[in-house]
Amino acid sequence: MISTVRYCQRNGTTHCSCKNYERIGLLCNHIFVVFKNLKIEKIPDLYVTNRWCKFHLLKPMFNVGGSEMDNVSFTDQNKTLVSRLMSNIHFCIALVEHNPDLLLAFSNTINQHKEATLIRGITGKLSSDTSSVFKNFCGTSAPSELCVLPPAQVCTKGSSKRIKAGKEVSIEESKKTKRLCRTCKEYGFHDSRNCPMNHEK
């Protein structure tokens, strides 16, 4: 099947008779061949839709101190830190919202850090003493030595066999038929391969 591509250089619009872009929103290979022949190295902005962009879901704006900041303007690390910080604050509020005393204490702590940040200046260097920050939030100093042991290993491959008692094992052994061992010439529950006399040699 032969497809016909029409390209308008004035406004950068392209149309192909296969109608791939009209059906699924993606440019077809016929149009890319035309772009290659015309030495067009960049896809026209008209055909770069939001649904194929990785920043399409990062549209919400943050209003911090009366200033609106777009998610896209943050670096990946800043976005992660801001998201984690907002999550922690909302979690703490949910924990203390029904206790007026704890809610007031949490509000005072946030206000203290807010004022300290404003005094130092947003672009200034904050205190790097993590121990004081830990003590302010937790109410106690950080432990000098951490001893974290790995968790006990568990079996996740289904239910294991029940551990039998010694009496139950002996009853089951007594019900078995004894065999003649060719090494010790005695009847028992062993044979020549695992005869006790083999260990005495």
Evaluate whether 109 touches 92 at the Cβ level (below 8 Å).
no
**71 vs 6, higher pLDDT:** 6
- Which contacts (CB < 8 Å, 24+ apart) does range 136-141 have? 136/109, 136/112, 137/109
Kindly report the average pLDDT of the chain as a whole number.
77
**Most confident of the ranges 14-18, 21-25, 78-82:** 14-18
Per DSSP bridges, beta strands 179-180 and 67-70 are unpaired
Q: How far is CA 53 from CA 26, 47, 56, 73, in A?
A: 13, 11, 5, 15
Report yes or no on whether pTM surpasses 0.85.
Answer: no
The mean pLDDT value for 186-191 works out to: 86
78-131 tens-digit pLDDT: 777 877 888 888 888 888 888 888 888 888 888 888 888 877 765 455 444 566
Q: How many degrees, rounded to 5, is the angle at CA 122 between CA 121 and CA 128?
A: 85
How many angstroms separate the CA atoms of 169 and 107, rounded? 66
**pLDDT of 58 higher than 60:** no
